[in-house]
Amino acid sequence: MEGDQSVTVFFAGLAMHILAGVAALVVRASLLRNRLVIVLLIAGSAVAAVPAFGVLTGGAPLLARWPSALPGGDWVIGMDPLSAVFVLVMVLVGGACAVFGVGYMRGSNGSDRSPASHAAVAVLLVSLSVVVSAQSVVLFLVAWELMAIASFLLIMTDHTHADVRRAGIIYLVVTHTATLALFVMFALWTRASSDWTFASLAAAGTGTAWGQAALLGCALFAFGIKAGLVPAHFWLPPAHAAAPSHVSAIMSGLVIKTGIYGLMRVVLLAGPPPTWWGWTLLIAGAASALLGVLWALAQHDIKRLLAYHSVENIGIICMGLGLGALGTSYARPPIAVIGYGAALLHTVNHALFKSLLFLAAGAVQRATGTRHLEELGGLARRMPATWGAFAIGAVAIVGLPPLNGFVSEWLLFLGLLGAAPATNAVRLSVLGAPLLAVVGGLALACFTKVAGVAFLGTARSGGAAAAREVGIGLMAPTWTLAFACAAIGLFAGSAVAPILHVAGLFVGPGATVAVVGSAIDGARAVTAFAAVLIGVVALVAVLRARFLRRVVVRQGPTWACAFPAQTPRMQYTASSFANPIIRIFGGLAGVREHRGATVYHSSARDLVLDDLTLPAWRGIQRLALRLRPMQQGRLHVYLLYVIAALVALLAWLVLNMPAAS
């Protein structure tokens, strides 16, 4: 009975989100419409989060089943602890971003498009929740496709610009490639199962080693594209930069996490994966992390930069997934639990701080009218609330204490170094720890660049000099996410405990109580460490205030070695700040420079898109042009083709007919 009630509550939450979309389309008066949409979004998120929270705190998993006569069998939806974590993230972060979107679209010039946009956002949120809670193949694929199409429509909001259209088309083609691979995977898998629910897929198993390799290969391809693992990441930066800011937040924070959910669900359903899966995920994750943050450092458009950071963090999450898989493959359950736990916690944390950063970037874009770092500056004075939220997001994404990014990177580090005393090949994963440190150092360089160039110093353009703080409708969801980041950082023990219990699903019951207990104790120590850090900072601040009270304090122009006539153009630019590191990596960073006698211009290109994918695409088009002569446009040629195909089929049938008895 209780399970049924919880399922009803979950559906009620989803229904409220759908109602929000309907209200956006139906209600005419814009003020009433905006307020109604916001109320329905917040209420729907809160209501849908309750059963997810219940499952996570020890309740029974939910399940609901609708018999269906359509091909594909019954539609099953359910929430086990893994789904519950993802539903909680989707619903709460998605609700905050959608509420931001209501205020954001109100201020833009295309306000006649905002009803359709809000409806599409509602559809996107509902499809996200259904993707992570679907327990049958058809429901999963329907929700997956709905999510892809809703994202495409939202990316194309500003479709009058050519680069937005290009980004949308690239996104559409790539996401359907991933969907095709999913079709192949499910087709292979459902051959051996009785019906098309996930429970039957788990019971059917994956068959032979080659069958398992094909299944897992398709899953890695499809979900890797969706998540944005290098080299399948090239659709991410154009799409996330072209979309409106709240849509970029939802896509970076939530939609790419469905790829991570898919990878984890496949491992849960298919059983312990072979060793190549773990090593592939670990190495691909490490490469994504390093290349993603390097390419982010080369960008000077805030949203493209944040999109590349999503690639980096997906890489870190996949390193955790790989470590977890290696733990199960090499029979080291503690490493498996910590690896999967770190991946799951980093998924939650990344959803929080990446959405926060995108929303803050949206506020900056709304206030200054530009996304380019080289035109910003001095915004800390003019937009203090946005600066505070962005600073919290920046400290969180670099993985510094006392915020939440540190907790998940600490857990991953614990797992990587915990593999060190092993005697088999899993020891080599200890090399991931220095790589994580280099990635963290590059992330620190990138975010000091963004925060310093955009918010500190003096304004570099008129737009930045005239910026005004955005309203409470935009700041409230942003600061809610910031508080959530701080809460997970400061209460690490309470956040890590349920995550590690979910991670225990991957190794089976009972094998992990000791290591989970010690990791939770470590997380409590991290909480105490964060509290001590804040306390010492406060103490030193008080000390400084006491010293300053006794001396003369004056204001003056910037000293800078007595160089007079400082202008805003003499500040360090974003390209200059990133230059030493970019030069070390040479061609790998993809920065193209043009030097004239009095002119310097640098631009960043995506190596995979510009050097691999687009040339390959043009090669396919040339090949297709060679086949062009087949299409003459004349009816009798086509009739000839039909007759030739019929004759060939008849000949095959005759030759293969069983002997007449």
Partner 1 sequence: MNETALRVLAVAGALGIAPAVAGVATRTKSFLTGRRGPPAWQLYADLWKLLHRGAVYSESTTAAFRIAPVVSLATVLVAATLVPFDGRAALVIFPGDAFAFAAVLGLGRFAFVLGALDTGSSFEGMGGSREVMVATFVEGSLLLVFAATAVVTGETSLSGMFGGGLLPRWATAIPSLVMVGVSLFAATLAECARVPVDDPATHLELTMIHEVAVLDHSGPDLAFLLYAAAIKLTLLGALVSGVLWPRSELPPGAALAGGAVALVAVGAAVGIVESATSRIRMPKVPLYLAGSAAFALIGLALLLQ
Query: Which residues 517-576 are close enough to bind partner 1 by CB under 8 A?
Result: 518-519, 521-522, 525-526, 529, 532-533, 536-537, 539-541, 544, 547-548, 550-561, 563, 566, 568, 570-572, 576
User: Both ends of the chain: CA-CA distance in Å?
Assistant: 63
How big is the site for partner 1, counted in residues (CB under 8 A)? 86
Distance, in Å, from the CA atom of 279 to the CA atom of 295, rounded to the nearest integer, reads: 24
State in angstroms the smallest separation of the CB of 482 from partner 1: 17
Which of 55, 263, 398, 488: binder of partner 1 (CB under 8 A)? 398
Nearer to partner 1, 458 or 494 (CB): 458
Question: Stretches 148-156, 272-280, 325-333, 409-417: which one binds partner 1 (CB under 8 A)?
Answer: 409-417
Torsion, Cα 106 111 113 119, to 10 degrees, reads 20
Q: Which of residues 136-155 bind partner 1 (CB under 8 A)?
A: none
CB of 514 to partner 1, least distance (A): 13
Question: Is 536 or 648 the residue whose CB approaches partner 1 more closely?
Answer: 536
Q: Is residue 249 a contact residue for partner 1 (CB under 8 A)?
A: no
Contacts of 223 (CB under 8 A, 6+ apart): 178, 259, 260, 262, 263, 266
- CA atoms within 13 Å, Cβ hemisphere of 531: 11
Q: In angstroms, what is the minimal distance from the CB of 427 to partner 1?
A: 6
Q: Which is nearer to partner 1, 98 or 496 (CB)?
A: 496
Question: b/e for 129-138, b at 16 or more Cβ within 10 A?
Answer: bbbbbbbbbb
Kindly tell me which residue out of 88, 225, 227, 414 binds partner 1, with binding defined by CB under 8 A: 414
Binding mask of the shown chain, residues 581 to 600, with x at each position contacting partner 1 by CB under 8 A: x-xx----------------
**Residue 120 vs 380, nearer CB to partner 1:** 380
493 part of the interface to partner 1, by CB under 8 A = no
- Give the CB-side neighbour count of residue 415, counting CA atoms within 13 A: 35
From 165-173, 402-410, 505-513, 587-595, span contacting partner 1 (CB under 8 A): 402-410
Provide the token pair at 169. 């088309």
Tell me if 221 sits within 8 A of 94, measured CB to CB: no
Provide, rounded to whole angstroms, the least separation between the CB of residue 276 and partner 1. 21
> Which pair of tokens denotes residue 191?
């051959």
Q: Which amino acid is at 189?
A: W
Which C-beta is closer to partner 1: that of 462 or that of 508? 462
- Contact between 438 and partner 1 per CB under 8 A: yes
Nearer to partner 1, 71 or 580 (CB): 580
**Nearby residues of 71 by Cβ (< 8 Å), 6 or more positions away:** 138
Sign of CA dihedral 612, 614, 615, 619: positive
Which tokens belong to 460? Answer: 């570099």
The minimum distance between CB 434 and partner 1, in angstroms, equals 4
Smallest distance from the beta carbon of 529 to partner 1, in angstroms? Answer: 6
What DSSP character marks residue 254?
I
* Closest residue by Cα to residue 78 from 53, 61, 54: 61
x/- string (CB under 8 A) for partner 1, residues 331-350?
Answer: --------------------
Q: Among 125, 150, 453, 481, which residue sits at the site for partner 1 (rule: CB under 8 A)?
A: 453
Site string for partner 1, 416-435 (x = CB under 8 A): -xx-xx-----xx-xx-xxx
Tell me which stretch binds partner 1 (CB under 8 A): 5-13, 156-164, 169-177, 373-381.
Answer: 373-381
213 vs 203: CA distance, rounded Å: 18
Residue 229 phi/psi, 5° resolution?
Answer: -75, 140
In this complex, which beta carbon is closest to partner 1, that of residue 186 or of residue 447? 447
Q: Which of 129, 157, 154 is nearest to 143 (CA)?
A: 129
Q: Which of 107, 205, 217, 457 binds partner 1 (CB under 8 A)?
A: 457
3-class secondary-structure state, position 328: helix
Q: What's the number of CA atoms in the CB half-sphere (13 Å) around residue 492? A: 29
Alpha-carbon span 592 to 435, nearest angstrom: 26
Say how many residues make up the chain. Answer: 661
Matching residue, tokens 């459902």: 190
In the bound state with partner 1, the residue whose beta carbon lies nearer, of 201 and 394, is 394
* SS3 label, residue 635: helix
**Which CB, 394 or 482, lies closer to partner 1?**
394
- Report in angstroms how near the CB of residue 528 gets to partner 1 at its nearest: 8
Q: Minimum CB separation from partner 1 for residue 544, in Å?
A: 6
Tell me: does residue 578 bind partner 1 (CB under 8 A). Answer: yes
Q: β-strand 75-79 against 62-66: which pairing, if any?
A: antiparallel
Give the residue with the Cβ less far from partner 1, 221 or 387: 387
Among the candidate windows 201-209, 244-252, 278-286, 448-456, which touches partner 1 by CB under 8 A?
Answer: 448-456
CB of 409 or CB of 606, closer to partner 1: 409
Single-letter code of the amino acid located at 255: V
Provide the token pair at 67: 């018999």
Please identify, using beta-carbon distances, which residue of 253 and 378 lies nearer to partner 1: 378
Nearest of 130, 129, 100 to residue 114 by alpha carbon = 100
Q: Per-residue x/- marks for partner 1, 631-650, CB under 8 A?
A: --------------------
- Count of CB atoms situated within 10 Å of the CB of 406: 24
Q: Is the Cβ of residue 141 or residue 445 nearer to partner 1 in the bound state?
A: 445
Side-chain half-sphere exposure of 286, counting CA atoms within 13 A: 19
At residue 559, the 3 state secondary structure works out as coil
